[in-house]
Amino acid sequence: MEAVTVIIETPKGSGQKYDYDLRTGKMKLKKVMPLGLVFPFDFGFIPGTVGGDGDPLDVLVVSEVSAFAGCAVDCRIIGAFKVVQQEHNGKPVRNDRLIGVPEVSQRYADVSSLGDLSKTIVEQAIAFFTSYNQQGGKKFSVLEKLGAGKAFQLIEKSRKDLPMDRLVEIFLPLRDGNGEVFPKQLYDGIRVELTTKFGGLTEYSRNPAKGFWKPDEGTAEQDELLVFEVMCSETDTEFWSKLKLRLLKLFKQDSLIIRCSKIELLCCCVFGALGFFHQRQD
């Protein structure tokens, strides 16, 4: 199974709980825990996932070292605690805890499942989460201990449950600087790559968009464009940056536009049928 990137929020040994603040993009102090209660290992989340509580999936990172808040750690997932958490209002909520081991760990290099960990570590982790939730007036109940395979299935499902509210548009030229049409195979490869990664793709090829630009001489020219659109749940800046660099070389361009817009779904009735359209917020 592939490694997943975990963003550490609260370091090992910390008596304070930190959360990542989406609004500011910074770590925020959430609470100070009672004297003697500290995190047994680094605690964080997997970006691009959503759990039963509406937040990204939580991960306890078992390691011989302590990272820092905001540190990104590549981990192999070795298992999970399938959890029901009773909130203040008595409503039960699924809030599973995954267990990961850093790829660079030496002490836990041979650990690939919960069974490879000592019984003490597993019991202490459950005891910590139970005590932590009791302090917050919540009840923490482990329904089942999952192996690595089922734990990874939780991650895959959580990614599918994310709202697809990002529209990414890739503007590609149809002709080179000499007016020659680019080979169809170039677009076929990009089409397959994007469809495989995002599960679908929309393209505008019959009526290409017209882009106008003025070179230094002051004369206006027309550039035919092919537009690919994909929908996704989050903007993977690293992926799009690397793709843009490849496309610039592939099409021998000095510049190329990849634009991301936030989609707001609006409901409307059309001739008695329920329809949807999207409004982009650039």
**81-124 pLDDT tens trace:** 999 988 777 789 899 999 999 999 999 999 999 999 999 999 99
Taking only the tens place, the pLDDT of each residue in 185-227 is 999 989 988 887 777 889 876 444 555 445 555 444 456 788 9
Please tell me the predicted confidence (pLDDT) of residue 270. Answer: 43
Both structure tokens of 85: 């958490």
| Domain ranges (residues) in the chain | 4-160, 166-281
Q: Is-same-fold flag (4-160; 166-281)?
A: no
CA angle 246, 250, 254 (to 5 degrees): 85
Residue with tokens 């660099």: 245
Digit-coded pLDDT (tens) for 10-54: 999 999 999 988 777 789 999 999 988 999 999 999 987 888 888
Q: What does the pLDDT read at residue 70? A: 92
Give the pLDDT of residue 39. Answer: 96
Which is more confident, 239 or 265? 239
Structural element, H or E, at residue 70: none
DSSP for 151-214, please give it. HHHHHHHHHHTS---EEEEEEEESB-TTSPBPPHHHHHHHHHHHHHHHS--EEEEEEEEEEEE-
Q: Confidence band (pLDDT; 50, 70, 90) for 239?
A: confident
Predicted confidence at residue 146, as pLDDT, reads 95
CATH class of 166-281: alpha beta
Fill in the amino acid letter for 150. K
**Rounded mean pLDDT of 121-133?**
94
Domain 4-160 indexed as CATH 3.40.190.290: no
Considering only CA atoms, give the Rg of the chain: 24
Mean pLDDT confidence for 266-280: 42
In angstroms, the CA 281 to CA 205 distance is: 24
Which band of pLDDT confidence, cut at 50, 70 and 90, is reported for residue 272?
very low
Task: Give the predicted TM-score (pTM) of the model.
Answer: 0.62
What region, left, alpha or beta, does residue 231 occupy, with left being phi > 0 and alpha being psi -120 to 50 degrees? beta
Question: What is the rounded distance in angstroms from the CA atom of residue 279 to the CA atom of residue 259?
Answer: 15
- Give me the pLDDT at residue 269, please: 47
DSSP string computed for 81-118: EEEEEE-TTS-EEE--EEEEEETT-STTTT--SGGGS-
Of the candidates 125, 140, 142, 133, the one whose C-alpha atom is nearest the C-alpha of residue 33 is 133
Tell me the per-residue pLDDT of 147-185, one tens digit each, with 9 for 90 and over: 999 999 999 888 766 667 789 999 999 888 888 889 989
